[in-house]
Structure 1
Amino acid sequence: MPVTDPVENLQTLIRCPSVTPAEGGALTALATMLEPLGFAVSRMTASEDGTPDVENLYARLGENGPHLMFAGHTDVVPVGDEAAWSHPPFAAEIADGTLFGRGAVDMKGGIACFVAAIARCIEKHGPPKGSVSFLITGDEEGPSINGTIKLLEWAAARGERWDACVVGEPTNPDRLGDMVKIGRRGSLSGVLTVQGVQGHAAYPHLADNPVRGIIKLAEALMEPPFDHGTENFQPSNLEVTTIDVGNAATNVIPAKATAKFNIRFNDTWTAETLKAEIIRRLDAAAEDEALRPGRAPVRYELHWADRPSHVFLTKSPALIESLSAAIERTTGKRPELSTTGGTSDARFIKDYCPVVEFGLVGQTMHMVDERVAVKDLEVLTTIYEDFIQGWFGHAGA
């Protein structure tokens, strides 16, 4: 079976220019790899007003027994300045033992290795004693509206149920085997607007400068800390990402000021309790006259972004131990179990089954000259192959 070679698999996928939301031939190439292995492959296109249509793929091998899902995405971020690349971003060229191309680690490499791993398992042992599925989206690097969340709903409505999932995102900071992600902090974003009164900078008593208010409110959002971390998670942190007044003049007090913020929160909070705490802070700061002596309380509006990501922690000994043991047998080291980093599509999958994340080294993801060591592709394939055998052994016991 030629798909037992992860390098060839990855080269095929990279040569498909699947920049979000374009399918670029990547899902077709993946279907061509999976169908000869016995997978039943389905394609679905998801739509929503105001967002681009997205093609997705679901493939399943087997009909009964424990059901293991592999999840990921074939879409990639734009290449940026193509002239800055030392190798064409969609050529999948190999130089000095390194394979270059957009998506090499994020995350066509993980898909290529899992395909090779299941192909090797079938070649050596026959089909697994259960079911294996691929849930692959084309929308992870985009709005994440017409991808995994809708593909899961589509599959579940057709009777699909899963016992465990591995997401092939690049989780390792330095070397393969460093880290398995067993959860993620939540993410909540908002837009804060302070209303003022426009006027001449030389006559401030006739105006009300909203910059004074937005500074005070932004300070209240960032200090004091929301918490100091928990047993499994880093401290929650809120970052104000932009403050803007839309004012090109130097002698005009603006009419309003806007700030955007994002908070990554741990299991001290839910999205609902966190919203309440943020409003409490803003209300208290709005009454503070330190920057606005003699003025009425700051008038502000707060709008929350849709679809906050909720914090989660996976507690599945069979899944975590099977993967950790496979990593240790292959690399000689025990991986760190971590909840660090941003969000991923695991935040959707956690509502359907236990989920962990493990893939390649992520140092060059989204960069010019994104690349992966060829030897790492073989190591990851070996880990996945060992894991598949071990997990079905645990799940079927």
Structure 2
Amino acid sequence: MPQDSAPIDPVDLTAQLVRCASVTPEEGGALVLLENLLSEAGFTCTRVDRGGIANLFARWGEKGAARSFGFNGHTDVVPVGDAAAWTADPFGAEIRDGQLWGRGATDMKSGVAAFAAAAIDFVRTTPPEGAILLAITGDEEGDAQDGTVALLDWMATEGEAMSACLVGEPTCPETMGDMMKIGRRGSMSAWITLTGVQGHSAYLHRALNPLPAMARLADRLSSHVLDDGTDHFDPSTLAVVTIDTGNPATNVIPESTRMTVNIRYNDAHSGDSLTRWLQSELDSVCDSFGVTGEMTVKNSGESFLTPPGPLSDLVSSAVQAETGQTPVLSTSGGTSDARFVKDHCPVVEFGLVGQTMHQVDERVDIAHIEQLKAIYARVLKDYFA
């Protein structure tokens, strides 16, 4: 490394990013900070903003290189909630008790800082035969339609491509190095409305109550076994998350009632197959009770799996070397932007212990940030070896 180019401190960079109040969809200065840092290190940087969302693409090396390793992450964060409940300034990046405190410290400004620092140090010391790409969004915690999706759309248009990608989301449940993600369950929600005829509760024959029909539908959906799990996934689940009628009266049969369900599904299903199943259950209940039904579905992402192989082996080996732990290959948890990247190239996820993400007093161990940079640096070294 040149004498005037000291290694990038991932802890200091995390602190700088935490001090950027980048609550979705605000950029907050986080991507400007990274763009300046990466540009100074020789990365070609492009802002890929879309729909009011800020995104950053950075490449070191030639476009179209035969071997290109990518990192993906986000700098946007969820709201702080009740600021008075925090024992530290949510955007102060206070260091206390060996931890860095603040919104986004875990999810996932530390991850972005770690891979940016590892990438900069790597190209300065051992310029690889190939390219390193960073795709960083400000829209992972929001609707996620103008974030990583926008970056991938732009990359396809511009001929930019990753051969493999590592997403830096928090993946470890308990200890650093105990888990990595090789896939994610699909996620979808359905909003169902049943409509009958309003009337007086003393004159049932003049009304058509949609509530018994909704109770039947809720029971049929929630008691149905979608599957028993697959080789790499736990069983799919359906949760009834709310039933709303809004009827304060005790002597009025309501005209309509609404229910929302959320499904987390494995690779035995698709969003389309589950939508067809929901519709058939809805139609059956409507026919039985004589009510009418409407349904709106939003599929947040299909399930996907990167089968165990070269990419998971590469990351697992680096994690084991730096932590002494061999990470479990998991598909658990919610959704991440890996669900978009998987259509572009093989993708896995590895990051910090996520116990405090999205919580009041979110914080991260200083030692874990440094360890994460070392893991990412070893991944790059081994990939380009």
TM range (shorter): over 0.9
Matches within 5 A, 1:243-262: 243-262=243-262
| SS at 2:105 equivalent | coil
Please report the TM-score for the alignment, with normalisation by the length of structure 1.
Answer: 0.92
Q: Give the drift of 1:204.
A: 2.1
The reply to whether residue 280 of structure 1 matches residue 280 of structure 2 is: yes
Moved more, 111-120 or 327-336: 111-120
Give aligned-pair identity as a percent: 49
Match of 2:297 among 301, 304, 307: 304
Matches within 5 A, 1:263-274: 263-274=263-274
Change (3 A) 1:3 1:82: farther
The reply to whether residue 170 of structure 1 matches residue 170 of structure 2 is: yes
In 1, Cα distance between the equivalents of 2:300 and 2:104? 26
Letter matched to residue 107 of structure 1: M
In 2, Cα distance between the equivalents of 1:86 and 1:32? 32
Change (3 A) 1:316 1:40: farther
| SS at 2:107 equivalent | coil
Matches within 5 A, 1:107-126: 107-125=108-126
Q: Give the drift of 1:2.
A: 4.9
Match of 1:37 among 28, 34, 41: 41
Please report the TM-score for the alignment, with normalisation by the length of structure 2.
Answer: 0.95
Partner of 2:189: 189
Unmatched 5+ residue regions in structure 2? none
Partner of 1:88: 89
Q: Give the drift of 1:301.
A: 1.5
Q: Contact conserved, 1:172 with 1:180, CA < 8 A, in 2?
A: yes
| SS at 1:135 equivalent | strand
Partner of 1:66: 67
| SS at 1:105 equivalent | helix
Q: Give the drift of 1:316.
A: 6.0
In 2, Cα distance between the equivalents of 1:89 and 1:189? 31
Give the CA RMSD over aligned residues: 1.4
Partner of 1:16: 20
State the aligned residue count. 379
In 2, Cα distance between the equivalents of 1:228 and 1:367? 32
| SS at 1:174 equivalent | coil
Moved more, 339-348 or 267-276: 267-276
| SS at 1:193 equivalent | strand
Q: Give the drift of 1:233.
A: 0.4
| SS at 1:91 equivalent | coil
| SS at 1:17 equivalent | coil
In 2, Cα distance between the equivalents of 1:348 and 1:338? 18
Alpha-carbon displacement from aligned partner over 1:21-41 (angstroms, at most 9, x marks no partner): 000000001112211211011
In 1, Cα distance between the equivalents of 2:308 and 2:221? 36
In 2, Cα distance between the equivalents of 1:155 and 1:3? 29
Partner of 1:145: 145
Moved more, 244-253 or 32-41: 244-253
In 2, Cα distance between the equivalents of 1:178 and 1:332? 10
Moved more, 307-316 or 25-34: 307-316
Q: Give the drift of 1:320.
A: 0.8
In 2, Cα distance between the equivalents of 1:129 and 1:175? 34
In 2, Cα distance between the equivalents of 1:38 and 1:106? 27
In 2, Cα distance between the equivalents of 1:39 and 1:388? 16
| SS at 2:301 equivalent | coil
The reply to whether residue 54 of structure 1 matches residue 44 of structure 2 is: no
Q: Contact conserved, 1:217 with 1:286, CA < 8 A, in 2?
A: no
Partner of 1:293: none
Q: Give the drift of 1:270.
A: 1.5
In 1, Cα distance between the equivalents of 2:308 and 2:165? 11
Q: Contact conserved, 1:72 with 1:167, CA < 8 A, in 2?
A: yes
Q: Contact conserved, 2:182 with 2:308, CA < 8 A, in 1?
A: no
In 1, Cα distance between the equivalents of 2:375 and 2:16? 22
In 1, Cα distance between the equivalents of 2:249 and 2:367? 57
Partner of 1:291: none
In 2, Cα distance between the equivalents of 1:357 and 1:389? 18
Change (3 A) 1:316 1:39: farther
In 1, Cα distance between the equivalents of 2:125 and 2:175? 28
Letter matched to residue 174 of structure 2: D
Change (3 A) 1:156 1:316: farther
